[in-house]
Structure 1
Amino acid sequence: MISDRKLEHLILCTSCDVEYRKSTGFEEIEMVHRAIPEINREKIDIGLDFLGKELSSPIMISAITGGHPAALKINRELARAAEELGIALGLGSQRAGVEHPEVEETYAIARKEAPSAMLVGNIGSSHIEYAERAVEMIDADALAVHLNPLQESIQPGGDVDSTGALESISSIVKSMDVPVMVKETGAGISSEDAIKLEACGVAAIDVAGAGGTSWAAVETYRADDRYLGELFWDWGIPTAASTVEVAESVNVPVIASGGIRSGLDAAKAIALGATMAGIALPVLEAAGQGYRAVIRVIERFNEALKTAMYLAGAETLDDLRNSQVIIMGRTREWLNERGFETIKYARR
């Protein structure tokens, strides 16, 4: 049953080693230090307009959970924090809530606790018929369509027929009264796929790159035969590389997520072209302690982001996106081999 699987996922993500063994690539991104920033740190502005919603910070709580009674407390605490801070919150896949009304409250609690926050709904690309109900369930400000071919490939009984996915996404975009974005679930998005998604009319793309939680790893623990899961544990496009690939290829906002573990990581992602940075595991762990703990995590991210901006001489997020960064190591090799010119980031 879907609800049971949701609980298994929650337990595995909080109690087992399910992270990529390879890195996000952000340790290979260096921001150029400005010894004379010529700005006042206290006047740094990290607010932004995202898909028509005014947000206090580009740090977004990425989709985590829903669909099991145990998820209600987590989404309640995340929503309370999002409401108080004025940030965006993504909900987990809402298929369970649509198919099983008895667990709908595990999602609906978010809007009850966060009446004015930006909430992002979540459905799979093959579930066109769930889109409208998913938005209604949480009075969503936007809808995310998630892509998870890696997880489905490893998951026992997973859906490995993605024929018509782009047509399905286009249909969802055309049928919705709210912006529709697309997000991967931990294996990244390439420039080629980003271009196809933009052609479908999506309003934003969340790269959800490799480097954070590996859903191949999560499903490895659930499988009787762990061979495939172990083999594909680290499959995907590292988050730093995926951020550049997508940001350079489309003209819609890009969310960098997948292993973002600090405000410095977020600053690097934005300097590479992202509009927002999504985090999940850091706040999942905090949610168990209550919304105040979640707020402390986000505030630490914001402070580190502002510090990085100050040291880079960036007073606004637009300034940060135009700041100088050095791309080194495997990330540079990846991007150069893929045809992206990395030296221009250092010579802005």
Structure 2
Amino acid sequence: MTADTEPTPADTAGPVITGPAAPGPRPRVGAGYVRYGAGKLGGAIVSLLAVLVTGFFLFRLIPGDPVKTMTGGRPVSAEQLAAYRKQFGLDLPLWQQFTDYCGKALTGDLGTSYQFRTPVIDKITEALPNTLLLTGTAFVLYTALGMYLGTRSAWRHGSLGDRVNTGLALTLYSLPSFWLGLLLIIVFSVGLGPVPGLFPTGGMEAGGTGGFARVFDIAHHLVLPVITLVAVEYGQTLLVTRSALLDEMGSDYLTTARAKGLRDDLVRRRHAVPNALLPTVTLVFVNLGRTVAGVILVETVFSWPGLGGLFYQALSVPDLPLVQGLFLFFASAVIVMNTLADLVYPLFDPRVGR
């Protein structure tokens, strides 16, 4: 075919592959993703088994006798203590306690709480909605705030707004959450100087209300713990988003997009931000796992009846089945969310799953 000859469809169609054994890119990509996903799921299973083993032995190093703690300091005979230990299986050899624990945990039986005398899974189910209400609300707020401010700071890096945002985020991120919570209680619950006490010192609701009044009461109790979590946590999202976006700022495709006449706002939203999301996606999923697990210190400071407060209460006994069950639940939530983050990476960058 010469330069003056117009190409025919047969010239441009390329080789034609027919038959069921014809190779193609779609099966290869799919097979690569399956191998990638299987590797991540296998790693998650190994991590869960490690958590199962660690949780059993770790909390047996806590000083104190749970049986004596359950008696509340009342005088109890040696025969009664022995009966309690036999009832809860504490008289068995450690290896047998471990095998019994693993066997039951793998079937969903986390044991019976020493202090509440109810199945551990029931206590977790009871406290989980309260934790999700508190930490879920905070998660949505600090994720949205951190990503928005991180994007704005990166796009205007070096400006006064960027320096103020970054400095404030670093300062708040470095504060202990329990210290900030106590400070907010002193200022806005107890009252300090001209500032009156505006919010409850703790708890989830005052009680005795129903309908919309109860919703308002719970929202009133939510304000300070949510502010504490948002103030401490949003800085991490801001800094990761800002750093990831700064890495993309000098890319050639952004220069090309600007050369085509696209406004800076469109270049940022349609091109830069989607390509900088991978580190932020990791952080979001990790924080989502922590949201399910709860925040122990904040829930304890504000007497919030969630999983974090329940864990602190169980540690003080020590209530071994409840502590082990909560530890396994917390770790499983983080592991599951990390695995989900790994599995959705190829949606943002197809090279990851190959």
Q: What's the TM-score bracket when you normalise by the shorter of the two chains?
A: under 0.3
Identify, as 1 or 2, the structure richer in strand. 1
Identify, as 1 or 2, the structure richer in helix. 2
TM-score relative to the length of structure 2: 0.25
Structure with larger Rg: 2
